[in-house]
A and B are shown apart, each in its own frame.
Chain A
Amino acid sequence: MGRIMITTFNNPKMQVALRTVCAVFGGYFAAMALSLLIAIPMEMTAREHEVFIRMMFFTIYSVLIITAFSINRQRTVYISTLVLNALAWLVLTAVKGVTA
């Protein structure tokens, strides 16, 4: 069973699919956390925050997708996506908790 799983994950098409999932979904959530985090210290109205976050989000998201496909090693992509998301959401939760 283990061998089957390893073989499946080593399949080039599966690797491309997993990398795409990391880039698209992992990148989306990481960009979401990072753009919210960057907007926190900005003194703006609610509408201005919304506009600022939109622009920040798509800039960060593009960079994350490009980066995910630039990294050579597959494992590095998984780890860096997980770590980035974990850090970003942790800091965001902590800061929001402090400022609430």
Chain B
Amino acid sequence: MKGGLRKSMTWLHTWSTITAGWILFAIFVTGTLSFFRYEINYWMQPELHEAAPNPQAVDVAYNYLIANAPAAKQWQIQLPDERTRTLSLYWDDPNDTSRRRGPRAQLDPRTGKELTPRDTAGGNFLYRFHFELYGMPRDVAYWIVGVVSMMMLIGIISGVIMHRKIFADFFLFRPKKKLVSWLDGHAITSVLALPFHLFITFSGILLIAGVLLPWNGEGGHRHRGERNAAPPTKVVERHYDATPPFSKMMADAEQAWGVPVQRISIENPGLDKLRYTLSGPNREEISAGRGGNTSFVYNAAGERIKVNPANTADNTAQAIYNYMDMLHQARFADTTTRWLLFFAGVLGSIMVGSGSILWAVKRSKQQMGERGFEFVRGLNIGSIAGFMCACGAYFWANRLLGGQYAAREGWEIATFFIVWLLTFIAGFIWRDRYGWVVQLSIAALLFSLIPVLDSFTSSANLWHAINTLDWPRLSFDILALLTAATLWFSVYYLLKIKDKKRKAPTRKKPAAKRVNKPLKPAAGEA
């Protein structure tokens, strides 16, 4: 490009990101929310909120399985942890192949009561939208997300190259200066979490690279193989122990790993070949990938008879790829790390949004009224403020649509897209500051009232949540309030600027003062 390297990179940074910025904002926000996918699932299934912790949860699970699946060849118990409050039970049933893992039940760990949560896509919709979008063939969605992610990667690299003083930007923010403030805000959010932005973008592209590189390997299409129906189980007499040695086994495993047991798999329950397999969040290496946990196998007496070692990567290339996979999806992360990644994701979302706004602010004086510029202004409102409205509406629809309503899952998602479409239309009609104020206010209102909505539409009110330290639910409500506060602050800022412009007096030059100056002597006079 004409001009020096920085000038070329500035051009490339501007155009590679503005053309992808609108869909990128949605991808970044949904990706950030996906770090807490299970918590969002939980919040969106209020029937589960009455569950409370119980140290004897495993016994409750065992008794349920004896009563409801006595002939199953295998039982699986997922114990409550810091992210899930309920007991999840799975068992195999040759007559039921509707679910990959077989039939499932969710119990209150304290009472053993079976909970029937409402049908909802929950946080899984946001998670899937992040890389599959919605309503289109998966390969098409992967291509779109892949191209947009590649544009983001180019935007990040060119953004780094074009920066004159990248380290100084850590400490630079000039408020109340319109264009410069937007520039500083964009730079700070980009630079503060730059390593995160780089790896999350690169790793994201790698995860869907199979479709983008159809000439490489199987082109991203792996055939799982058909799940053959299990042969019918023979009727065999089973003897169930009144008190299996769970305490002994769990104490042994927890002492070895230093973390609580999370899953218990019971093979051949009630038979001589009974085996217990215990596993937990005891990941030893991120480079091992998804099978990076050790598990212990115990016999009926609770004695450890086998150790299933954690997987390891076969070579450096696989290890690096596994790092990318694990880091992108935060499968290894504890609560603190997850919150840090979430915060970095918020910075990334602000980076993308502020970049789109900065583009418009920079050109507003010269290009106001031009078709292309007005189009970008309209798109900015719908894709940023409108998207926040759509997310808020999605959560509200979850609670306002009846729990037993059959088509509720589809209508929750439809509400999301209908609201988003309406905000785009409104954004194109009201493209000025007024449009931003209205949409940001609506989003702020939706998020502000989420805790109230939660308390009145859940099976247990907020007081129960506070009493039982229901952190997954409480954090969702707290985060909704923080989001609302940020949105209200944006509204306040926009209104304050508008008022300042109105009240600023027009400055008139003061009238020239009459001064009695001596007359200049006429020519020839002394």
With a cutoff of 8 Å between Cβ atoms, the chain B residues found around residue A50 in the complex are 216-218
Contact with B along A39-70 (1 / 0, CB 8 A): 00010111111111111011001100110011
Q: Is the CB of A51 within 8 A of B153?
A: no
Residue B157 interfacial (CB < 8 Å): yes
Q: Is the CB of A66 within 8 A of B158?
A: yes
Q: Is the CB of B161 within 8 A of A54?
A: no
With a cutoff of 8 Å between Cβ atoms, the chain B residues found around residue A45 in the complex are 314
Tell me the residues in window 95-136 of chain B with beta carbons closer than 8 Å to chain A beta carbons: none
* Range of interface residues on B (Cβ < 8 Å): 20 to 34
With a cutoff of 8 Å between Cβ atoms, the chain B residues found around residue A52 in the complex are 317
Q: Is the CB of B321 within 8 A of A51?
A: yes
Tell me the residues in window 9-64 of chain A with beta carbons closer than 8 Å to chain B beta carbons: 19, 32, 42, 44-55, 57-58, 61-62
With a cutoff of 8 Å between Cβ atoms, the chain B residues found around residue A69 in the complex are 1, 8-9, 11-12, 158
Q: Is the CB of A65 within 8 A of B154?
A: yes
Bound together, the chains give a CA A92 to CA B311 distance in angstroms of 35
Residue B255 interfacial (CB < 8 Å): no
Contact with A along B201-219 (1 / 0, CB 8 A): 0100110011001011110
Closest partner residue, chain B, to A35 (CB atom): B216
Bound together, the chains give a CA A42 to CA B318 distance in angstroms of 13
Residue from B11, B213, B324 within 8 A of A57 (CB atoms): B213
Residue B221 interfacial (CB < 8 Å): no
Residue B239 interfacial (CB < 8 Å): no
Q: Is the CB of B161 within 8 A of A47?
A: no
With a cutoff of 8 Å between Cβ atoms, the chain B residues found around residue A62 in the complex are 150, 153-154, 157
CB proximity of A37 to chain B, nearest CB, Å: 13
Bound together, the chains give a CA A91 to CA B190 distance in angstroms of 40
Closest partner residue, chain A, to B315 (CB atom): A48
Q: Which label, helix, strand, loop or mixed, suits the secondary structure of the B interface?
A: helix
Residue B320 interfacial (CB < 8 Å): yes
Closest partner residue, chain B, to A20 (CB atom): B15
Bound together, the chains give a CA A72 to CA B9 distance in angstroms of 12
With a cutoff of 8 Å between Cβ atoms, the chain B residues found around residue A44 in the complex are 315, 317
Tell me the residues in window 362-419 of chain B with beta carbons closer than 8 Å to chain A beta carbons: none
With a cutoff of 8 Å between Cβ atoms, the chain A residues found around residue B153 in the complex are 58, 62
CB proximity of B341 to chain A, nearest CB, Å: 22
Residue from B3, B11, B161, B206 within 8 A of A58 (CB atoms): B206
Q: Is the CB of B154 within 8 A of A47?
A: no
Contact with A along B1-37 (1 / 0, CB 8 A): 1110100110110000000000000000000000000
With a cutoff of 8 Å between Cβ atoms, the chain A residues found around residue B150 in the complex are 58, 61-62
Residue from A19, A55, A57, A66 within 8 A of B157 (CB atoms): A66
Bound together, the chains give a CA A47 to CA B222 distance in angstroms of 12
Closest partner residue, chain A, to B217 (CB atom): A50
Q: Is the CB of A47 within 8 A of B217?
A: yes
Q: Is the CB of A55 within 8 A of B216?
A: no
Known: A69-B11, A72-B2. A32 touches B154 (CB 8 A): no
With a cutoff of 8 Å between Cβ atoms, the chain B residues found around residue A51 in the complex are 317-318, 321
Bound together, the chains give a CA A57 to CA B208 distance in angstroms of 13
Tell me the residues in window 74-97 of chain A with beta carbons closer than 8 Å to chain B beta carbons: none
Bound together, the chains give a CA A30 to CA B394 distance in angstroms of 44
Known: A44-B315, A44-B317, A52-B317. A66 touches B154 (CB 8 A): yes
Q: Is the CB of A66 within 8 A of B12?
A: yes
For the complex of A and B, the 6 pairs showing the least CB-CB separation, nearest first, are A50-B217, A52-B317, A54-B209, A51-B321, A69-B12, A53-B216
Q: List 7 A-B contacts (CB under 8 A).
A: A45-B314, A47-B217, A54-B210, A55-B206, A57-B209, A62-B154, A70-B8
Question: Given A42-B317, A72-B3, list of 12 further CB < 8 A pairs?
Answer: A47-B318, A48-B315, A50-B218, A51-B318, A51-B321, A55-B317, A55-B321, A57-B209, A58-B150, A58-B205, A62-B153, A71-B1
